[in-house]
Structure 1
Amino acid sequence: MTEAEAATGTAGDDQAAADWAGGHQERVRAAIGWSYLLTAGRFGSSVLVTFLLAKLLGPEEFGIVAMGTVLIMIVQTVLQQGLTAAIVQREGLTRDHVDTAFAVLAASGVLLTALTIAVAPLWAVVNREPGLAGVTIALSPMVLLQGLSIVPEALLRRDLQFRSVAIRTLLAAVLSGMLGLGLAIAGAGVWALVGQQVASAFISLVVLWLVCPWRPTGRPRFAALRELWSFSAHSANAGLGAMLSSRVDLIVTGLVFGPVATGIYRLAARLPDVVVDITVRSLQQVALPALSRLQNDRAAFAGHLARLQHLGAVVGLPVLGILAAVAGPLVRFLGPQWSGTELPLRLLCLFGAVNVYGVLLGPALQAIGQPGRLAALTWARGLIGAGVLAALGTLLGRAHPPAQAAGVAAAGVLLQLAINAVSLHVTVRRAAGASLRRFVLPTLPALVAAALAAAVPAGADRLGVGRLDPVLGLLLLGGAATLVAGGVLLVADRPLRRTVSARLRRIRASGAGLAYR
């Protein structure tokens, strides 16, 4: 080969690599857009349904269903066994891998559903709530439905096909919400919440199989299972730890304080959870497949992770600040049965703000093939949290349910701060080899915007806003907090300002082009 031919070949390879990188970035941007649409639609429908159901029902009904759902989530995490991450992350994925994973998960779903039904009466005894057994048994089909959903959903996520995932989730949220509201209006009580959750899982499964082109064809092969399990063993361990870490608050609250405190805590956690879902966990869904493609280039990996974190902070932290600002009128709107939920809601907004800095770290460790570190971190968070909350139960055992819920929320904030500090060091400094300043500093304008938005009620109360109709107070406080947060971001966040300016220039340019034609 001549030098000219070699140069031509190298240039061609470089151009092909550049074309692939450009195409990959475009697919990632499209996936992020659909991921946001996915959770935005779920946010709008599920929050509306949740608060309408809260107005029709009370804390005890919400608490009983939350206690039953915890057991279902534990079993679903065991069922998943880390195979989702293995399918998404593995570079050399074959049909044998996919068919084997589906066969194992379907069979395990049947067995674990039966086990859940058998354990339900014991779960009710442990929680000292007789009605919990029937609720848990009614929720148990969600385990099998999850087992049948894991593989097709993982394949769609692997290929960044979030449009299909968005369609599935939006339909399930809307249709199941309509069913739940209809049952609540008819006087079904706690069964309205149960019916909503089971219907959501069933509709999700049906739509998922309609939009996913893959169908199982082959027989399970043990060699393929061993190859998947080499990654999945650590990932499953991390998944169990993550579930314990994220649900230890509900588990311990139900065991120690009972259904009323659990219902108050669950409702107070609902909105901050959804805000984090729509802002940062939407990015989390894209982060694993996107970062996995960069696992051998640590500089590009660290840069992409920092950009994702900045985006998550910009869209997540100010919304949490606005939510904290409207906590008062929001709780008044729900009715007197939810009185006292304002403080837990504000504390859980703070918990969500802390959590914004931890959500992307798990996919980052999985993407670079270090799920063992993730497992250690999540198990530490879960076990320490269980001990702290159990001790808290002895201190607040005779307090009113809203105070009990607020205590659990405050403990969660402090614990999450400590765990996030360790997680940032392990993931950003040691695993990715990047500086913490590069990861954290770009998010400070969003943090300031959130804090100032949350402080808006302090000035508004002097003007008598707290005495207004709840809906009017919600609109006024929400509008003022939004203006404050948006103003701070546009002034202080230079990357955001550049992005907005570039988008406006493109809109003006396209408008001018249309006018010229």
Structure 2
Amino acid sequence: MALGGTLQSSRECPHRERGRRWVVTDVRDQSSDTPVAQCQSIALGRERDASAATSQQAYGAEVEPNVPISRWSIATLSRQTALVFSGKMVGAGLSFVISLLVARWLGPEDFGLFSLFIVILILGNDVLGEGLNPGVVRYYTMYCGSHPTTASAVLSNALLLRVALGIPVILVGAALAVGANKLFHDSRYAWPVILGLIGSCGAALVSFSLSAWQARQEFSTYSLMAPLVNVLRLVSLAGLALVGPVALEPIIGLHVASYYLCTVLGLWILRPHLIFRLDKELLKELLRFGKWPAMASLCFVLQNNLAVPVLTYTVGATEAGLFAAGLSLLLVVDLLTASLITTLLPKVGFLTDHAQWRSYIRRFLPLFLWMALVLLPFVFVARPIVLWLFGPSYEGTVPVVQLLFLGTIGTLMTHPLYPVLYTMNRPYLFSLTQGVALLGWILAGWWLIPLYGALGAAETTLWSRLLQSIVLVVVLRYALASTLHKGSGDLVPGAGGV
């Protein structure tokens, strides 16, 4: 991919259709002074110049837009998924070790405050970081081959957007620090909340770097950088233990510092691909698109994590512990699903028409079903695995794990299909599926959790995940049916982005 072969200037095109935003781009080749005016739709993500569209190719990508989906290499996809999965698993394993060490060193009370810090950090990163990543991948994929300068501008403006959204969060954290004694009834809650807010911005910036490598399909770099922040957290803990007594405040302070150190390293690696040029129209598009995945991500996180505090409040910590043990055991399956989506999202971004979208679903849905069938026997060996890992006191976790596992299998079968909604420029439809699933969880949990404790929470999560899968399939059918059945990839008038 040539970097710097074109000079571009953009202005808003006077021709608009409902739900679409058009810009006129003047492309001037270095070997010629003749500008070629091209009308391209940011909302649809499609080049009007057919020759430019066929030349689109991601840096390091294994899939080109003119290669039929039937010829996509399953071996390449498997290798890339394995790389991403290994990075995520190493990070998750280190996170478990960190939590174990902190729990042993601090005791239950301070560990609870540490957990509060982690929850705030995760929720903040989910909105400011993970939720905005699909927009980065989508728009980078649009331009990476035909307009590399614009692709670099996508990364730069996505970074600026994340900083702009993070500054108010940091200011809130600073304001809380000034008035901590007045705002918090117990001063011990102050620093976990304050540093959780500040740390969430650092986590969001680390997440940006990961999304850039995902968009560029540099999965080897992704797999190395994904667990790095937890490596730094673990090293800092070891250093703190060697220096002197371990306390809550320095632990969470070092955690925050680890995120910002990873941010600096990630941006330094990405510096050749960043062009710090403000593009207000591009910022608006990134925010317009990104708000929907952010809402969907938040709904999914709440759906997965509400059970523990609800159980603690309604039936006690014992039932919450039984459920949490089962949830942690099945993290592996969700990481596998997330790894598949990470590798597929930039590839699906090349698909621009109805036939390609249908072909993707027909090609990969049987693969996801086959993976689910391979994993299904775990239901029958769950009991010895649970008792071996957690001990005989966790007998009540066995049925919890079995029910939760069926839900994660349902997610594995259908979740990797939702990137099609993103390439259709309909991210709000995926947010709808996640919102419906969260509502289903609330309604089912209202009745089942107080009656059946951990088992009721597992049933609630199972039904919400199955509902999520069913609604996603229905929404995909609707979205495909509402597109024109032609190669142009145009949506039905008025069905564009929100």
Do the structures match in fold with TM over 0.5? yes
1: CA distance between counterparts of 2:104 and 2:387?
A: 15
Q: Of 233, 238, 248, which aligns to 2:296? A: 238
Q: Identify the residue that residue 156 of structure 1 maps to in structure 2.
A: 213
For the 8 Å contact 1:82–1:239, the answer to whether it is kept is yes
Following superposition, the deviation at residue 84 of structure 1 comes to 1.8
Q: Identify the residue that residue 269 of structure 1 maps to in structure 2.
A: 327
| CA distances 1:302-338 after superposition (whole Å, capped 9, x unpaired) | 13432552464266545676555311122129xx7x7
Q: Identify the residue that residue 87 of structure 2 maps to in structure 1.
A: 38
Following superposition, the deviation at residue 380 of structure 1 comes to 1.6
For the 8 Å contact 1:89–1:292, the answer to whether it is kept is yes
| CA distances 1:213-259 after superposition (whole Å, capped 9, x unpaired) | 44644242212212333423433333333333333334544665677
Q: Of 160, 181, 196, which aligns to 1:139? A: 196
1: CA distance between counterparts of 2:175 and 2:255?
A: 20
2: CA distance between counterparts of 1:208 and 1:319?
A: 38
Provide TM-score, normalisation by structure 1.
Answer: 0.64
| CA distances 1:45-78 after superposition (whole Å, capped 9, x unpaired) | 4445556666777776665544443333333333
1: CA distance between counterparts of 2:133 and 2:382?
A: 33
Q: Of 342, 357, 361, which aligns to 1:298? A: 357
2: CA distance between counterparts of 1:112 and 1:22?
A: 46
Matched, 1:356 2:402: no
Following superposition, the deviation at residue 161 of structure 1 comes to 0.8
Matched, 1:221 2:279: yes
Q: Identify the residue that residue 127 of structure 2 maps to in structure 1.
A: 78
Q: Identify the residue that residue 92 of structure 1 maps to in structure 2.
A: 143
Question: Sequence identity, in percent?
Answer: 20
**Matched residue of 1:160: which SS?**
coil
Q: Identify the residue that residue 391 of structure 2 maps to in structure 1.
A: 332
Q: CA distance change for structure 1 residues 161 and 184 in 2, over 3 Å: closer, same or farther?
A: same
The count of corresponding residues between Structure 1 and Structure 2 is 409
**Matched residue of 2:80: which SS?**
helix
**Matched residue of 1:369: which SS?**
coil
| CA distances 1:438-462 after superposition (whole Å, capped 9, x unpaired) | xxxxxxxxxxxxxxxxxxxxxxxxx
- Mean CA deviation greater in 168-177 or 99-108: 168-177
Matched, 1:110 2:167: yes
| CA distances 1:151-192 after superposition (whole Å, capped 9, x unpaired) | 332221011111111111233333423545776898747679
2: CA distance between counterparts of 1:312 and 1:58?
A: 41
For the 8 Å contact 1:295–1:301, the answer to whether it is kept is no
Higher helix share: 1
Q: Identify the residue that residue 465 of structure 1 maps to in structure 2.
A: none
Q: Give the residue type in structure 1 aligned to 2:122.
A: M
Q: CA distance change for structure 1 residues 288 and 16 in 2, over 3 Å: closer, same or farther?
A: closer
Q: Identify the residue that residue 417 of structure 1 maps to in structure 2.
A: 466
For the 8 Å contact 1:79–1:108, the answer to whether it is kept is yes
2: CA distance between counterparts of 1:61 and 1:203?
A: 25
Q: CA distance change for structure 1 residues 361 and 18 in 2, over 3 Å: closer, same or farther?
A: closer
Q: Give the residue type in structure 2 aligned to 1:331.
A: F
Higher strand share: 2
**Matched residue of 1:108: which SS?**
helix
1: CA distance between counterparts of 2:216 and 2:370?
A: 22
2: CA distance between counterparts of 1:16 and 1:284?
A: 18
Matched, 1:365 2:421: yes
Q: CA distance change for structure 1 residues 118 and 349 in 2, over 3 Å: closer, same or farther?
A: farther
Which sections of structure 2, spanning at least 5 residues, go unmatched? 1-53, 56-63, 145-149, 482-498
Q: CA distance change for structure 1 residues 421 and 19 in 2, over 3 Å: closer, same or farther?
A: closer
Q: Identify the residue that residue 233 of structure 2 maps to in structure 1.
A: 176
Q: Identify the residue that residue 408 of structure 1 maps to in structure 2.
A: 457
| Superposition CA RMSD, Å | 4.5
2: CA distance between counterparts of 1:423 and 1:120?
A: 43
2: CA distance between counterparts of 1:103 and 1:97?
A: 10
2: CA distance between counterparts of 1:253 and 1:119?
A: 30
2: CA distance between counterparts of 1:324 and 1:204?
A: 40
Which sections of structure 1, spanning at least 5 residues, go unmatched? 1-11, 397-402, 434-517
Q: Identify the residue that residue 69 of structure 1 maps to in structure 2.
A: 118
1: CA distance between counterparts of 2:314 and 2:444?
A: 12
For the 8 Å contact 1:88–1:155, the answer to whether it is kept is yes
Q: Give the residue type in structure 2 aligned to 1:328.
A: L
Q: Of 355, 375, 379, which aligns to 2:435? A: 379
Following superposition, the deviation at residue 131 of structure 1 comes to 4.9
Following superposition, the deviation at residue 145 of structure 1 comes to 0.5
2: CA distance between counterparts of 1:214 and 1:257?
A: 54
1: CA distance between counterparts of 2:247 and 2:456?
A: 28
Provide TM-score, normalisation by structure 2.
Answer: 0.66
2: CA distance between counterparts of 1:260 and 1:131?
A: 25
For the 8 Å contact 1:171–1:203, the answer to whether it is kept is no
For the 8 Å contact 2:124–2:200, the answer to whether it is kept is yes
Q: Of 223, 232, 254, which aligns to 1:166? A: 223
Following superposition, the deviation at residue 83 of structure 1 comes to 3.4
- Mean CA deviation greater in 384-393 or 294-303: 384-393
Q: Give the residue type in structure 2 aligned to 1:231.
A: F
2: CA distance between counterparts of 1:150 and 1:423?
A: 26
Q: CA distance change for structure 1 residues 17 and 294 in 2, over 3 Å: closer, same or farther?
A: closer
Q: Identify the residue that residue 445 of structure 2 maps to in structure 1.
A: 389
2: CA distance between counterparts of 1:118 and 1:187?
A: 29
For the 8 Å contact 1:268–1:344, the answer to whether it is kept is yes
For the 8 Å contact 2:213–2:221, the answer to whether it is kept is yes
Following superposition, the deviation at residue 368 of structure 1 comes to 3.2
Q: Give the residue type in structure 2 aligned to 1:360.
A: P
Q: CA distance change for structure 1 residues 197 and 158 in 2, over 3 Å: closer, same or farther?
A: same
Matched, 1:282 2:339: yes
Following superposition, the deviation at residue 30 of structure 1 comes to 4.2
**Matched residue of 1:140: which SS?**
helix
For the 8 Å contact 1:241–1:379, the answer to whether it is kept is yes
